[in-house]
């Protein structure tokens, strides 16, 4: 049965039978996972790791992060998000594994299975089998087994992404009313989604959705923000560059705007910061072209591999990663499946679209004698980007 069909025969979602139907579906999944685990234990209980492992994979716990004592080790592991190339290695290792041990091709069972009823001691058959398998999948990666395990849980255990469908909303509502205490883990399994988004839905149910508000960021409003930021940090303008501020600072500022701090913070990093600290006359399309050209020379395979914080390092002082991301996203986001397509194709698409873009320049701002923001006007001779 498909998830979307669970509630198709019910008109009245308050009927307890709805919940029963969902629980039955959950049971099916659990049985599938348990059967998979049983098989795994059967095959792996006596297996030992024979291959060379870097120190950071020699832990006996895959479900907890490595404790930091890497000072004495020369080799280090990567800490950023696992990229496409690394994911491909995991899949390659998985294919090898299922072939070598004759196990069904159901990595989702590994991702979903939770040790709830068995002993959690590390040398118990379930845990040692799981550790063997994760170590196998981590071969050739500069990652801890914990990172690989978490990646498998999120990537393969929550494959459904994007906005929730109406059917999913129905299922969530039924679980929230009948099983509020276990709704999140239950729904995460049933819907095949990351738990975090489901938590947020549950919280919204209790606390309500905040009303929609909008600020128009005119120069005077931006002036107000800048003054408040200087006031609450006690720093002069030029020391605000590339700084992070405590959340308290943002919250205090947000109160004076009567707006959620997250939006104010975002405006600072994505717009105002750049307008204040980039000191030249920039043609936005020329900048976009430069970004795309640079990205073409990297080894990123797909759009989401791009590490914007690294990319921004190649640009002059004053830019922020979020700004670079934002202006790059514009031209490419209309390409269908831009997430999955090879990056060079996506970039070419973007470069082509740039030709139809309006020719805008980055507006830059500076404080005037009165302490207010004012637009900096560049003349044509000062035409450098």
Partner DNA sequence: CTTTGTTTCGGCTTGTTTGG
Partner DNA sequence: CCAAACAAGCCGAAACAAAG
Instruction: Give the residue, chosen from 84, 178, 179, 260, that forms a contact with DNA under the rule CB under 7 A.
Output: 260
Rule CB under 7 A: say whether 333 interacts with DNA: yes
- Minimum CB distance to DNA smaller for 55 or for 155: 155
Q: How far is the CB of 99 from DNA (least distance, A)?
A: 26
Q: How far is the CB of 246 from DNA (least distance, A)?
A: 8
Q: How far is the CB of 116 from DNA (least distance, A)?
A: 6
Instruction: Give the residue, chosen from 119, 242, 313, 368, that forms a contact with DNA under the rule CB under 7 A.
Output: 119
- Minimum CB distance to DNA smaller for 100 or for 169: 169
Please identify, among the stretches 9-17, 32-40, 87-95, 181-189, the one whose residues bind DNA according to the rule CB under 7 A.
Answer: 181-189
- Minimum CB distance to DNA smaller for 214 or for 380: 214
Which residue stretches of the chain are H helix?
16-44, 84-101, 107-112, 125-137, 145-157, 166-178, 183-191, 195-207, 219-233, 247-257, 261-267, 273-277, 284-296, 308-311, 321-332, 343-354
Say if CB 29 and CB 112 are below 8 A apart.
yes
Cα–chain center distance at 330: 19
Residues 139 and 49: their CA atoms lie apart, in Å, by 11
Q: Hey, how many other C-beta atoms are within 10 angstroms of the C-beta on 143?
A: 23
Q: How far is the CB of 5 from DNA (least distance, A)?
A: 21
Rule CB under 7 A: say whether 35 interacts with DNA: no
Rule CB under 7 A: say whether 375 interacts with DNA: no
Q: Decide: helix, strand or coil at residue 344.
A: helix
Instruction: Give the residue, chosen from 33, 37, 110, 197, that forms a contact with DNA under the rule CB under 7 A.
Output: 197
Q: What is the DSSP string of 236-291?
A: -GGGGTT----HHHHHHHHHHHTS-HHHHHHHIIIIIHHHHH--S--BHHHHHHHH
Instruction: Give the residue, chosen from 307, 348, 349, 385, that forms a contact with DNA under the rule CB under 7 A.
Output: 307
- 48-107: contacts with DNA (CB under 7 A): 60-65, 79-82
Q: Please, what sign has the CA dihedral across residues 179, 185, 189, 193?
A: positive
Instruction: Give the residue, chosen from 140, 279, 357, 371, that forms a contact with DNA under the rule CB under 7 A.
Output: 357
Rule CB under 7 A: say whether 220 interacts with DNA: no
The overall longest dimension of the chain from CA atoms, in Å, is 78
Please classify residue 125 by burial: count the beta carbons closer than 10 Å to its beta carbon, then call 0-12 exposed, 13-18 middle and 19+ buried.
Answer: middle
Q: How far is the CB of 201 from DNA (least distance, A)?
A: 6
Rule CB under 7 A: say whether 325 interacts with DNA: yes
Rule CB under 7 A: say whether 355 interacts with DNA: no
Please identify, among the stretches 10-18, 26-34, 35-43, 155-163, the one whose residues bind DNA according to the rule CB under 7 A.
Answer: 155-163
The first and second tokens of residue 18, run together, are 């709805």
Residues 339 and 349: their CA atoms lie apart, in Å, by 13
Rule CB under 7 A: say whether 173 interacts with DNA: no
- Minimum CB distance to DNA smaller for 97 or for 267: 267
């Amino acid at each position: 049965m498909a998830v979307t069909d669970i509630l198709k025969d019910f008109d009245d979602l308050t009927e307890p039978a709805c919940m029963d139907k969902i629980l039955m579906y959950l049971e099916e999944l659990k049985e599938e996972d348990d059967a998979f685990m049983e098989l795994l234990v059967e095959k792996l209980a006596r297996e030992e790791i024979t291959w060379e492992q870097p120190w950071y994979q020699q832990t006996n716990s895959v479900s907890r992060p490595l404790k930091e004592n890497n000072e004495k080790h020369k080799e280090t592991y990567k800490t950023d998000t696992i990229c496409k190339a690394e994911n491909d290695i995991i899949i390659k290792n998985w294919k090898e594994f299922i072939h070598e041990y004759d196990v069904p091709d159901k990595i989702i069972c590994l991702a979903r299975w939770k040790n709830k009823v068995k002993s959690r001691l590390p040398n118990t058959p379930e845990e040692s089998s799981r550790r063997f398998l994760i170590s196998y999948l981590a071969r050739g990666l500069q990652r801890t087994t914990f990172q690989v395990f978490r990646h498998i849980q999120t990537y393969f255990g929550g494959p459904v992404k994007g906005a929730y469908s109406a059917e999913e909303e129905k299922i969530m509502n039924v679980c929230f009313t009948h099983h509020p205490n276990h709704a999140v883990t239950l729904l995460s399994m049933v819907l095949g989604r990351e738990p975090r988004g489901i938590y947020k839905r549950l919280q919204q149910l209790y606390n309500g959705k905040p009303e929609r508000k909008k600020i128009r960021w005119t120069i005077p409003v931006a002036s107000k923000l800048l003054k408040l930021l200087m006031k609450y940090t006690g720093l002069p303008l030029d020391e605000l560059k590339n700084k992070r501020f405590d959340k308290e600072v943002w919250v205090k500022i947000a109160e004076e705007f009567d707006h959620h701090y997250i939006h104010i913070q975002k405006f600072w990093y994505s717009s105002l910061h750049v307008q204040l600290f980039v000191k030249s006359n920039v043609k936005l399309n020329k900048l976009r072209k430069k970004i795309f050209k640079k990205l073409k020379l990297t080894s990123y395979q797909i759009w989401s591999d791009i590490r914007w914080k690294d990319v921004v390092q190649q640009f002059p002082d004053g830019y922020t990663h979020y700004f670079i991301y934002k202006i790059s996203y514009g031209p490419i986001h209309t390409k269908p499946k831009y997430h999955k397509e090879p990056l060079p194709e996506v970039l070419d698409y973007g470069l082509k679209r740039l030709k139809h873009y309006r020719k805008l320049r980055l507006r830059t701002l500076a404080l005037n004698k009165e302490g207010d923001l004012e637009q900096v006007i560049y003349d044509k001779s000062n035409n450098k980007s």
